[in-house]
Amino acid sequence: MIDQTYDINNLRLYSITYKDSCFYDMGKVEEIKERIYDDIFHISNGIVILSTCNRFEIYVDSYNEEILEEEINKNMGIYSKFFHKYLGLDSAAHLFRVSAGLESSIIGETEILSQVKDAWEEAKNLGYTSKLLDSVFHQSIILGKRVRSETDISKGVLGYPQASVELASKLLGTLNNKEIAIIGAGKAAKIMIDHLCSKYNPSKITIANRSLDNAKKIINDKCSFEVNDLYEIVNKKFDVILVAIKGGPFDFLKGLLNKNDLIIDISTPNAITGDKVYNIESVDKLVKENYNHRLDQVQLAEKIIKEELDKLLQYLRKRSIDEDISEIMRYIDSIIKYEMEQTKKNINKGMELDEALRIAFESFAKKSMKPIFNLLHDNYNEKISELIIQYYKKNLR
């Protein structure tokens, strides 16, 4: 029987993503995930579920498609009709695109690569994976790292909060050793701070917000902070002020224009208006430039994906041959053990050593070569036969 351990045709994928209308209605996906792991693993060779805020994907190693789909559909209920199904190499190609960031809502985003790795490691630690799945996921991690190191698909910024920080750096030359104020304490302000503290080394960041408790929650350990009430900040001077606050415009914030020359406001509507203020339209240009640059990198990423898929197929082919060779060697080892026992018995019965060894070697040769002899007789193919005979003639000289 042909070994199917590394047969890429056994790989199957059932996928629902943020692009599907039902995705955000799926509810408790962790419960669904656990249920599928419990019900599907025993009818498959292996399973890995990739569940993130943007996708729910079931990768399965199985040759029993009919039973598999029946169980998956039962567990997914009404959502099963939204599945995008991939078979064989197409399943691996999709995973590679996911790892490369080509299937993300933000092209080239980096978080998905660690999510792929975490999903694989979780399934592996639970004993749910197979040799095929391990090979495919391992190669997808290599692919994801390679795409990000050899292309610019993950470089630059796409979101307005990060772009506002980069615009400030561009206008000032750097944000290192600068005093920066951030007005607001919501999600956008948090992204600004995390980006600032991961990429630059400002001398101090001041957070101003109506709620001081909310402002304290977004502090980052990598930077030095001060928290102010929103009204305290009006008479202070900073190298740059970044604004992301709801409910504007606020007339009292115009007082910032008296002492500050650089204000970037991405609030909608704007919290501050004036000649010195860069608004969201100013930031939008930088966002679009970066987005277009990432799009230009997609073709390079797809070329790398093709190369890595070829490497995967070569690896799976080699491992499959290795498995077959191991099976042959186990068969030969069983013959050796049997002939050794028979030889001992013949010698104990008084047979000469040379005769006992001759019988053993002849018997071993016939038994170990029997599959090849059967192939030559029962499935005669002139080219294969010639190849086998020429090989033996060459190696027996």
Distance CA 251, CA 229 (A): 16
pLDDT band at 396 (very low <50, low <70, confident <90, very high): low
pLDDT of residue 273: 83
**Is the model's pLDDT at 271 over the cut of 90?**
no
Q: Which two tokens stand for residue 340?
A: 């050794």
Give, for 14, the enclosing helix (H) or strand (E): strand 11-17
Mean pLDDT score of the chain: 88
Distance CA 142, CA 124 (A): 17
3-state secondary structure of 225: strand
Give 293: exposed, middle or buried? Use CB within 10 Å, 0-12, 13-18, 19+: middle
Distance CA 45, CA 42 (A): 8
Q: In what order do the strands lie in the sheet with 240-243?
A: 225-229, 204-209, 179-183, 240-243, 263-265, 277-278
Please report, in angstroms and rounded to a whole number, the separation of the first and last CA atoms in the chain.
Answer: 33
Q: What is the pLDDT of residues 321-373, one digit of tens each?
A: 888 888 888 889 999 999 999 999 999 999 999 999 999 899 888 888 887 77
Do 48 and 59 form a contact (C-beta atoms < 8 A)? yes
Using a pLDDT cut of 90, give the percent of the chain over it.
44
**Is the model's pLDDT at 55 over the cut of 70?**
yes
pLDDT of residue 337: 93
Q: What is the pLDDT of residues 281-313, one digit of tens each?
A: 888 887 787 788 888 899 999 999 999 999 999
- Specify which residues 55 forms β-bridges with: 17
Average pLDDT over residues 61-67: 85
Residue appearing with tokens 């391990």: 134
pLDDT of residue 345: 93
Alpha helix (H) residue ranges in 10-54: 29-40
**Is the model's pLDDT at 1 over the cut of 50?**
no
**Is the model's pLDDT at 19 over the cut of 90?**
no
pLDDT of residue 149: 94
Q: What is the pLDDT of residues 114-123, one digit of tens each?
A: 999 999 999 9
Distance CA 122, CA 50 (A): 10
Using a pLDDT cut of 70, give the percent of the chain over it.
94
Do 312 and 92 form a contact (C-beta atoms < 8 A)? yes
**Is the model's pLDDT at 9 over the cut of 80?**
yes
**Is the model's pLDDT at 2 over the cut of 70?**
no
Give, for 61, the enclosing helix (H) or strand (E): strand 55-61
User: Averaging pLDDT over each range in 88-102, 188-202, 331-345, which range is the top one?
Assistant: 88-102
